[in-house]
């Protein structure tokens, strides 16, 4: 498991979220990608975007109907990678929900190494489901993690 | 939704289904084919198809579109109760999906599974309906 998000700010009224991720150079996932020249794989760039998209659409769903929803990545509609991201890296992730319904949401996200740069652009479909029986502990840990990320984002 | 199917729309929907399922161009897709039964659709395939339809035809297919069409002007409580269609709701759904064999519809139908019973022709009619509304 990797937890690279460092901060998360959700602006529900604007259906957008901003996050900072800090990717270490020595994570085992990166050992072979590539030996001596560690570059963040595209799949993990998508995952980082999804980790921002999830809490965003969960908050939008809660604001709309008050129900507890659990978001997970359902579909990658598009993904483009514009520059290699050498690690260690500090990345900004900007996510905007372009559509938010009861069971699904569409999120466009950009991942950037520097101001005004676009290193990865994705359009994700996040699925929303009520937590299932037996998920209580997972939900509790996840919610605590999101709360900590939000607390770090506060000025 | 009960209007005749526009053959051109149906052909375009069939092409989008082939793209969704990565089917060869010569794979026959007929209006009476059921997405989930004859074409092995999953719920994600359906979502993928609906996005492709939206992009292609410039319409918006919101969640619950089929539910809304079937319910019509019926009060919600008479159409569904506790996440299941009422007997009257089931009748309304079967009327909207009139080209789906009646035997496909179980006695109890969950409200979030209505597209499961749609044919290719029903999707084409939905597209024509939405285009007619200018959505």
**Cα dist. B114→A74, B44, B59, B131 in Å?**
20, 14, 20, 21
Q: Is A94 exposed, middle or buried (0-12, 13-18, 19+ CB in 10 A)?
A: middle
A119 SS3 class:
coil
Per-residue pLDDT tens digits for B30-55? 999 999 999 999 999 999 999 999 99
Q: Would the CB atoms of B48 and A75 count as touching at under 8 Å?
A: yes
- Residue B2, pLDDT > 60, answer no
Task: Please say if the pLDDT value at position B6 is more than 70.
Answer: no
Question: What are φ and ψ of residue A150, in 5° steps?
Answer: -65, -40
The parent domain of residue A21 ranges over: 5-153
Q: Do A103 and B51 touch (CB under 8 A)?
A: no
Say how many domains are in chain A.
1
Does the beta-carbon distance from A101 to B63 stay under 8 Å? Answer: yes
pLDDT for the residue numbered B4? 59
Q: What total number of domains does chain B contain?
A: 1
At residue B105, does pLDDT exceed 80? yes
Interatomic CA distance for residues B95 and B1, integer angstroms: 9
DSSP for B14-28, please give it.
HHHHHHHHT--TT--
Reported ipTM exceeds the 0.90 cut: no
Residue carrying the six token digits 């299932």: A132
Asked whether residue B2 is assigned to any structural domain, the reply reads no
Helices and strands, counts by H and E, chain B: 6, 2
Q: Could you report the per-residue pLDDT of A22-35, keeping only the tens digit for each?
A: 999 888 888 888 88
Q: What CATH number did the domain enclosing B24 receive?
A: 1.10.1200.10
> Looking at the predicted structure, is the pLDDT value of residue B7 above 90?
no
In Å, what is the CA distance from A142 to each residue of A15, A93, B14, B16, B81? 21, 19, 42, 38, 33
DSSP string, A21-46: EEE-S--GGGTTSSTTS-B--HHHHH
- For residues B107-131, average pLDDT: 94
Q: Could you read off the pLDDT of B69-82 as tens digits, one per residue?
A: 999 999 999 999 99
Query: What is the pLDDT, as a whole number, of residue B81?
Result: 96
- Quick check: B101 and B117 in contact, CB under 8 A? no
- The whole-model pTM stands at 0.87
Q: Which of A67, A103, A129 to mutate to test the interface with B (most CBs of B within 10 A)?
A: A103
Give pLDDT, residue B88: 96
Residue A129 is encoded by which pair of tokens? 């489901």
User: B-chain residues within 8 Å CB-CB of A74?
Assistant: 44, 47
Please say whether the beta carbons of A93 and A21 come within 8 A.
yes
Q: Is residue B92 part of a domain?
A: yes
Q: Where are the beta strands (DSSP E) in B8-127?
A: 80-81, 84-85
A-B C-beta contacts closer than 8 Å: 16
Report the percentage of chain B scoring pLDDT > 70: 94
What's the rounded mean pLDDT across residues B3-31?
89
Report yes or no on B29 lying in a domain. yes
Cα torsion B53, A12, A18, A145 to 10°: value is: -110
* pLDDT average, residue stretch A133-146: 92
Per-residue pLDDT tens digits for B82-95? 999 999 999 999 99
Q: How far apart are CA B84 and CA B80, in angstroms?
A: 5
Domain CATH code at residue A145: 3.10.129.10
Q: Which domain holds residue B44?
A: 7-132
Interface of B with A in 46-65 (CB under 8 A): 47-48, 51, 62-64
Q: Which of A102, A108, A129 is the best residue to mutate to test the B interface, defined by the most B CB atoms within 10 Å of its own CB? A: A102
């Amino acid at each position: 498991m990797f937890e690279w998000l460092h901060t998360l700010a959700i602006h529900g009224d604007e259906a957008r979220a901003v996050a900072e991720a800090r990717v270490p150079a020595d994570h085992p996932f990166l050992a072979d990608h590539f030996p001596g020249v560690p570059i963040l794989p595209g799949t993990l760039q998508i995952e980082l975007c999804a980790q921002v998209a999830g809490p965003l659409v969960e908050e939008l769903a809660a604001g709309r109907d008050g129900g507890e929803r659990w978001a997970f990545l359902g579909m990658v509609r598009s993904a483009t990678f514009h520059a290699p991201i050498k690690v260690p890296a500090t990345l900004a992730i900007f996510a905007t929900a372009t559509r938010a319904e009861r069971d699904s949401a569409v999120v466009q996200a950009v991942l950037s190494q520097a101001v005004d740069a676009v290193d990865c652009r994705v359009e994700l479909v996040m699925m929303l489901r009520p937590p299932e029986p037996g998920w209580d502990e997972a939900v509790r840990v996840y919610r605590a993690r999101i709360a900590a990320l939000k607390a770090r984002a506060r000025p | 939704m009960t209007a005749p199917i526009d053959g051109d729309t149906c052909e375009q929907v069939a092409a989008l289904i082939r793209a969704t399922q990565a089917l060869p161009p010569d794979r026959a897709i007929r209006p009476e084919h059921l997405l989930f039964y004859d074409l092995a659709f999953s719920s994600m395939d359906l979502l993928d198809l609906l996005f492709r339809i939206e992009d292609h035809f410039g319409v918006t297919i919101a969640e619950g579109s089929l539910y809304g069409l079937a319910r019509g002007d019926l009060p919600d409580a008479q159409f569904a109760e506790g996440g299941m269609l009422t007997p009257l709701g089931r009748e309304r759904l079967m009327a909207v999906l009139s080209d789906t064999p009646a035997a496909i519809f179980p006695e109890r139908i969950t409200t979030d599974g209505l597209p499961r019973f749609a044919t290719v022709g029903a999707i084409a009619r939905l597209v024509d309906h939405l285009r007619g509304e200018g959505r």
